[in-house]
């Protein structure tokens, strides 16, 4: 029998490498009791195309076909939605099958996937409405934005938010793996990492955006604006009695309405940033601040050395806040 490997392949040792990889793969599957039934997971490639299709359905003139006539728009939206939702159903079904096998659950994955896909479809008009508020917030918040169309097609922050809004809806519907893949597609493309489990209100604007991180249990109110390299993260990770990380508990900040957080700020733990506050650049914050606070990084000169402090200003009074 002729070898499937060419002379060049044999030259580079491809056959031996393939054999070694096979042994490692089979060993990994056997250790997880998957040797007979390797998992079929949702496809990142399919989901990436699917999100592009959903974006075109939500904004057909700007993200779909720019030459659509008024009579053709509904047909285009219906056609592209049908294909995207059929693909989404298949990806959801794969996640449900994987979940059932992992957890030993008995469920009709086809029927459940159909129900989830239908519920997701009913959410799309509201997602479009919320995205309109995000677009308006970006346009109003950036003096360099000439129009809303520019924001939609050019701004990485808006790209990440579109992915987040779609992923968050799927996360709420019980398919966190599909949702996480969608959010990580945006993360790879934009450098903005928004966990689909985060709760974010209307009129959300991420300016520039590179390096922004928003954790799973973060809660953001309406009209929140973030700049590049802002982190809304966890301060510490709780372990159970066996030393395994506890998952799902609230560990990320709550940011109330009308808050601005400038570049490089790091907010950690389940703290609350009061409504109307402004958090300055490069601030490291691990405690709550009241509404209307102005938190900046300041330098106080002393005789022997220079120390860094945080100054908090509230409408009622001014006080110095030292952060541990």
- Which domains are assigned to the chain? 34-192 (1.10.3130.10), 211-324 (2.160.10.10)
The pLDDT value recorded for residue 252 is 97
DSSP label of 306: E
The residues pairing with 226 across neighbouring beta strands, listed in sequence order, are 206, 261
pLDDT beyond 90 at 1: no
Instruction: Dump pLDDT digits (tens) for 241-290.
Output: 887 888 888 999 999 999 999 999 999 999 999 999 999 999 999 999 99
The pLDDT value recorded for residue 11 is 67
Residue with tokens 């940011």: 255
Higher pLDDT, residue 76 or 314: 76
Give the integer Cα–Cα distance in Å for 74 and 69. 10
Instruction: Dump pLDDT digits (tens) for 195-240.
Output: 999 999 999 999 999 999 999 999 999 999 999 999 999 998 888 8
Tokens of 238: 């709780």
Distance of CA 245 to the CA centre of its chain: 21
pTM of the entire predicted model: 0.83
Give the integer Cα–Cα distance in Å for 258 and 281. 17
Give the integer Cα–Cα distance in Å for 57 and 306. 56
Mean pLDDT of the chain: 87
pLDDT beyond 60 at 69: yes
Spatial contact of 135 and 148, defined as CB atoms under 8 Å apart = yes
pLDDT mean over 48-53: 97
């Amino acid at each position: 029998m002729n070898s499937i490997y060419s002379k060049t392949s044999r030259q580079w040792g491809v056959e031996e490498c393939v054999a070694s990889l096979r042994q490692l793969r089979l060993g990994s599957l056997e250790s997880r009791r998957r040797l007979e039934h390797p998992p079929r997971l949702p496809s990142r490639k399919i989901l990436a195309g699917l999100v592009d299709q959903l974006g075109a359905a939500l904004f057909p003139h700007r993200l779909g076909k720019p030459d659509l006539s008024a009579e053709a728009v509904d047909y285009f939206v219906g056609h592209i939605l049908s294909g995207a939702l059929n693909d989404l159903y298949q990806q959801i079904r794969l996640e449900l099958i994987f979940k059932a096998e992992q957890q030993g659950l008995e469920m009709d994955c086809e029927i459940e996937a159909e129900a989830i896909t239908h519920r997701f479809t009913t959410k799309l008009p509201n997602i479009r409405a919320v995205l309109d508020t995000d677009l308006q917030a970006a346009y109003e918040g950036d003096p360099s934005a000439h129009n809303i169309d520019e924001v939609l097609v050019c701004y990485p922050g808006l790209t990440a938010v579109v992915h987040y809004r779609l992923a968050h809806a799927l996360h709420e519907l019980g398919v966190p793996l599909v949702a996480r893949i969608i959010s990580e597609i945006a993360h790879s493309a934009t450098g903005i990492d928004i966990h689909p489990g985060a709760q974010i209100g209307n009129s959300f604007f991420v300016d520039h955006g590179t390096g922004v991180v928003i954790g799973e249990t973060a809660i953001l109110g309406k009209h929140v604006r973030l700049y590049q390299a802002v982190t809304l993260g966890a301060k510490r990770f709780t372990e159970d009695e066996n030393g395994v990380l506890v998952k799902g508990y609230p560990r990320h900040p709550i940011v109330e309405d009308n808050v601005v957080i400038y570049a490089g700020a790091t907010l950690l733990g389940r703290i609350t940033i009061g409504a109307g506050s402004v958090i300055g650049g490069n601030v490291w914050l691990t405690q709550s601040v009241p509404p209307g606070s102005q938190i900046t990084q300041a330098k106080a000169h002393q005789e022997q050395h220079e120390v860094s402090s945080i100054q908090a200003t509230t409408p009622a009074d001014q006080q110095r806040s030292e952060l541990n």
